[in-house]
Amino acid sequence: MASLTLAGLAARLLRLPQITGYLVSGIICGPYVLGILSSESVLDLNIIEGACLSIIGLAAGAELDWPSLSRARKQASA
């Protein structure tokens, strides 16, 4: 959990969305890079996977710049 917080703050300092930091933290802590979490423990975490994906989706939606998307949509349809 601490790595997620630190990764989110680091992403903010780099002017990136926090979700980028969360994803990078998950990749680094997972079984394929540093191996902090083993493959077995990742399988055990499937129970809370849905809730985590929901939170990630909400965070991604909060990062959207709706006025820019609206302008882009108007330009694309013109």
Q: What is the pLDDT of residue 33?
A: 85
Q: What is the pLDDT of residue 1?
A: 61
Distance CA 50, CA 25 (A): 18
Residues 14-72 pLDDT 10s: 988 887 888 888 888 878 888 887 888 777 877 787 887 888 888 878 877 778 877 87
DSSP letters along the chain, please? -HHHHHHHHHHHHTT--HHHHHHHHHHHHSTTTT-SS-HHHHHHGGGGHHHHHHHHHHHHHHH--HHHHHHHHHHHH-
Residues 3-14 pLDDT 10s: 767 877 888 889
Other Cβ atoms closer than 10 A to 20: 17
Q: What is the pLDDT of residue 71?
A: 81
